[in-house]
Amino acid sequence: MTLPKGLGRRSLMAAAAAPLARPLVANAQPSWPDRPVTLVVPFGAGGGNDITARTLGQFLERELGQPFVVQNRPGAGGEIGINAVADSRPDGYTFGILNTPGLVTIPIERNPRWNLDSFSFIASLVDDPAVIGVHAQSGITSLADLVAAARREPDAVTIATQARGSTSFLSVRMLEMAAGITLTPVIYNALPPGVLAVAQREVRGAAANLGEALIMTASQPFRMLGVMAEERSSLDPSLPTFREQGVDVAIGSLRGFVGPRGIPAPIVARLTAAIDKVSRDPEYLEVCRRTQQPLRIMLGDAYVAHLRDADGRFRAMWREKPWI
């Protein structure tokens, strides 16, 4: 074949290759997200994690242009929903609003198919401190009264909690260890039955998260004795911390935005920036205030460092007094 004047073999090869370059560009990864994103909640609808997921999802949809669809996957103390996140494809379309302490305590107490290294931790969102409350006419008006009652009647002071390893159950165990007392947890499948049990005098008290307790006990004769936090909560500044009352206990339900390990860095960066922006939106802050969601935003490495620290503390606790 005779080549046209001025067109060498290299030029011809380049011209032949040129049409092949266009499909490569067309097949490149599209801008994320280009379809709805699933948010797994490892608990039933209406609870604290569910409220956090639905609230944030609405604002992320505005920011990123795609719906964030909540999928409730309750069971096994959160393990079923966490499994769903750990097992999902790391393509940026499945995340979870996952709860600590469960994220760190489940691998301590049993052998799930995941651990902290199985996830991409995007941001913590809400830190709802634990509380213990009693019937308003119980005669117990302070934490000191509860401790004294437990010392007078070992094992007779019953406290409604949720599953072993849950925040409420562990808060009771931590109080026992810090105050040198023995309490008797009575397990209910959710907070409302536990609060009802207090109202009906079936148990002496109930352990809960502050935000949920404020909503669910508004019409109940329920007196909270304090918050298990490092400082008083903005949700109810009148409640003293347990530390102020001489008992060094701090625990709460830390809800975070978590995906499977291996999500591409550009997606992580865009999502992190979107959550950071939403967390400073006055409208979002007001919605969280109305729905009793005390925000604690920790992005990326700061969130991971907090989880690693919690893992060490709960492992030490397990060695001293296992909760199962």
Domain boundary among 211, 245, 279: 245
Same domain, 149 and 167: yes
pLDDT exceeds cutoff 80 at 19: no
CA distance 144 to 5: 99
Give the tens place of pLDDT for each residue, 136-157.
999 999 999 999 999 999 889 9
Q: Is residue 21 situated within a structural domain?
A: no
Question: Where do we find the tokens 């978590």?
Answer: 258
pLDDT of 215: 83
Q: Does residue 30 register a pLDDT over 80?
A: no
Helix (H), strand (E) at residue 205: strand 205-209
Domain assignment of residue 24, yes or no: no
| 192 and 228 fall within a common domain | yes
Give CA–CA dist 284/281, Å, rounded: 5
Q: Tell me, yes or no, whether 122 and 264 share the same domain.
A: yes
Question: Are 205 and 143 found together in one domain?
Answer: yes
Q: Is residue 270 domain-shared with residue 285, that is, in the same domain?
A: yes
Residue 140: closest CA among 221, 80, 254: 221
In a shared domain, residues 149 and 212: yes
Find the domain containing 159 and state its range. Answer: 128-245
Report helix, strand or coil for 161: strand
- pLDDT above 70 as % of the chain: 91
Please report whether residue 31 resides in a domain.
no
- The verdict on 196 and 162 lying in the same domain is yes
Mean residue pLDDT across the chain: 89
Residue-wise pLDDT for 41-91, tens only, equals 998 888 889 999 999 999 999 999 999 999 999 888 889 999 999 999 999
Looking at 200, 230, 245, which one is the last position of a domain?
245
Across 15-42, average pLDDT:
63
pLDDT surpassing 50 at residue 12: no
SS3 category, 202: coil
Residue 39 structure tokens:
């948010």
In a shared domain, residues 228 and 278: no
Residue 17 lies in a domain: no
Indicate whether 13 belongs to any domain.
Answer: no
Please give the pLDDT value at position 240: 96
What does the alpha-carbon distance between residue 56 and residue 50 come to, in Å, rounded to a whole number? Answer: 10
pLDDT at 21 over 60: no
Average pLDDT over residues 2-21: 40
Question: How many distinct structural domains can be found in the chain?
Answer: 2
Q: What per-residue confidence (pLDDT) applies to 75? A: 86
**Cβ(189)–Cβ(222) below 8 Å:** no
Evaluate whether residue 110 is within a structural domain.
yes
Instruction: Look at residue 47 and tell me if it is in a domain.
Output: yes
The answer on pLDDT for 11 being more than 60 is: no
293 lies in some domain = yes
Residue 314 sits in a domain whose CATH number is 3.40.190.150
- Do 112 and 168 sit in the same domain of this protein? no
CATH number of the domain residue 238 falls in: 3.40.190.10
Phi and psi at 152, nearest 5°, equal -70, -35
Query: Quick one: 234 and 133 in the same domain?
Result: yes
- The verdict on 144 and 198 lying in the same domain is yes
Q: Which of 245, 263, 298 is the last residue of a domain?
A: 245
Instruction: Give the separation between CA 101 and CA 110, rounded to whole angstroms.
Output: 14
Co-location of 230 and 164 in the same domain: yes
Residue with more model confidence, 95 or 44:
95
